[in-house]
Amino acid sequence: MHHARLRNRRKLSRSGRGLAALSVAGCLVSLSTQSGCENRQVAVISLKNRAPEATAIGAYYKLNEPSYRSAGIRGNLDRFGIEASLGTMGDLDVQVFSYANDVPCSLGSGGGLVHLPGEFRQNLNIDLSSTASTCSGGQEPADFPAKNMAVWARAANDIWFVGDGGKILRWNGERYTTVPLPTSLQSLPPDWTSVVGTSRGEVIIAGTKGFVVRWRPDTSALESLLVNPVNTALAGLDWRAVSTADPTVGDVWLMGSKGIVGFYTPAAGAVNAYGLNCYTLAPPGTPFMRDLNAVSCVATKRASGDYYDCWFAANQGTLLRLVSLLVPTNCYVYPVNQAAAQNFNGVWVGANSKDNRLDVRIVGSGSTLLRGTAPLDMAIPAPTTFDSYSKYLPSGFSAEFFSIGSAPDASGINSTAQVWVTGSNGTVLRWDDTPQMPGAVIPFTLVNTRLTNPIEKLSAISSGVVASGTGHVVFYAGSLFTPRN
């Protein structure tokens, strides 16, 4: 069994003060007998009522310290040990969660206390209560952001959650671990608002005060990125969303307050920030100074060359688009056929190269669901019309929609086959692809989340979608988890 060792290498006093670490002991997992553990101080944890489909256990534990440590356990899941040095005393608090298929949906959970007298073996039986009637996520004693929480998933066993107070958590299929901030940000951390990764292995996280950090797979650490003001001032800048145009290249677009956008390339190792000049029907452009809510980009190959195609959503029915060879300079303001009172909270763009089709979808307040399509090579302002899909929602259904997205296809472009939407009152909506207005074919599937919290962010993967919301809500919908009704 592979697990992290956190062994305390110095013998502690019998009072247990100054406990540095515990370790997950492998002796009870790897051996059919219990020999070799009787002369060590080990808390033997025995599980009852573990779901038969469970493939992993996440154990969280603490002893004489304020926060929980964690370890993942695979293999023989019904018994494991937590070891402390001889002489260590105190009440060991253990919380256990079981999982299947690497997704952060707890099948069962339980906990208890075991008193460590300072020597030899102690026993703790934990009865796991079933939580599989829904995707019960975010219940673990990990340091989740207390309020808003953004999410990005590379796969079911590699998911990042970021939020207020500079908190960053990473899920590995068994447990959550905290990702420490760079030293320069630890005293006054920003509130993280968005996170995205690339197939190169990097993860880009952006937030308030204009801060951006990059997680490097070669160092397994975060580092702060320099933000260069190219044609705009950065005072008061808060980043609000991020998007990759082509994950295989690693370029990332950032979007923030006061109409400021950023562009990151791995080669430069920094973010260049630009103020947008936007055209309505004809030049000259005027500075766009309003806050932007969402961004979605694709890299497209056209007869005239390769382009970045980025779409930005804002309040009062505002939709912006820029098509650029490299840097964002000029954008086009779309006169979307939607009541100006409706705010656009999310936007998604996909490019179907097989059908040579650009597909743009918008979500927002008042159950706003809009879609526009056009041939890829058509010049701005195509698409010129955006059709409302709200009438295809279930009768009587109403929600404020917050985010929209899909998983990349084999070429790295946003897939048009299955798009996900999240919103108020625990809403998760699957929006299947249709080549045109669906007519008799209803494109929506409403997922029964059994949640009432707002679900504000999402990240789609090939097997489904991972979503997050206020109150550290974590939810998964897809083929890897089926609730027990």
* Cα–Cα distance, 317 to 359 (Å, whole number): 18
10 Å CB burial of residue 305 (0-12, 13-18, 19+) is: exposed
List Cβ neighbours of 44 (8 Å cut-off, separation of 6 or more).
Answer: 28, 34, 37, 79, 81, 121, 122, 123, 124
Average pLDDT, integer, range 257-265: 92
Answer yes or no: are the C-beta atoms of 134 and 88 closer than 8 Å: no
Predicted local confidence at residue 10, as pLDDT: 30
Q: Name the pLDDT band for 36 (thresholds 50, 70, 90).
A: low
Dump pLDDT digits (tens) for 430-473.
998 876 666 677 889 999 898 999 999 999 999 999 999 988 89
Residue type, 40: R
Would you say residue 307 has pLDDT above 90? no
- Nearest to 41, CA basis, from 89, 72, 84: 84
Q: Which DSSP state fits 260? A: E
| DSSP letter assigned to residue 346 | E
Token pair for 280: 């309505």
The predicted pLDDT at position 38 comes to: 58
**Mean pLDDT of the region 23-39:** 47
pLDDT of residue 33 exceeding 70: no
Cα 267 to Cα 109, 206, 242, distances in angstroms: 45, 19, 18
Distance of CA 93 to the CA centre of its chain: 29
pLDDT of residue 150: 97
Which domains does the chain possess? 23-130 (2.60.40), 149-478 (2.130.10.10)
% the chain with pLDDT above 70: 86
E-state strands within 5-157? 23-25, 42-48, 56-62, 69-74, 79-83, 90-99, 108-116, 121-127, 129-130, 149-155
Name the pairing type of β-strands 108-116 and 129-130.
antiparallel
Q: What single DSSP character describes residue 481?
A: B
Per the DSSP assignment, residues forming a β-bridge with 221 are: 216
**pLDDT tens readout for residues 382-415:** 898 898 999 889 888 999 999 999 998 777 778 8
CA distance 479 to 477: 7
Q: How far apart are the first and last CA of the chain?
A: 33
Residue ranges with strand state E in 148-257: 149-155, 158-163, 168-171, 176-178, 192-197, 203-207, 212-216, 221-224, 226-229, 239-244, 252-256
pLDDT digits (tens, 9 = 90+) for 326-356: 555 678 888 776 555 689 999 999 987 777 8
Q: How many CA atoms lie within 13 A of 275 on its CB side?
A: 14
What SS3 class is residue 275? strand
More confident position, 225 or 351: 225
CA distance 282 to 410: 38
Overall residue count recorded for the chain in this entry: 485
In degrees and rounded to multiples of 5, residue 418 shows phi and psi of -150, 115
**How many Cβ atoms are within 10 Å of 4's Cβ, its own excluded?**
12
How far is the C-alpha of 402 from the C-alpha of 310, rounded, in Å?
Answer: 18
Residues 11, 12, 18, 23, CA torsion sign: positive
Q: Tell me the per-residue pLDDT of 88-105, one tens digit each, with 9 for 90 and over.
A: 899 999 999 999 999 999
177 or 336, greater pLDDT: 177
pLDDT at 347: 97
Strand ranges, E, within 276-352 = 277-279, 286-287, 294-302, 305-314, 318-324, 330-334, 344-352
Q: Is the pLDDT of residue 311 over 80?
A: yes
Which run of H or E residues covers position 30? helix 27-30
Is pTM beyond 0.85 here? yes
Reading the block at residue 78, the tokens are: 């019904």
CA distance linking residue 45 with residue 284, whole number of Å = 71
Quick one: pLDDT band at residue 426, thresholds 50, 70, 90?
Answer: very high
User: Residue 28 gets which letter from DSSP?
Assistant: H
Q: Which residue has the tokens 């084999």?
A: 410
Reported as a pLDDT band with limits 50, 70 and 90, residue 2 is very low
Closest CA to 348 of 381, 371, 328: 371
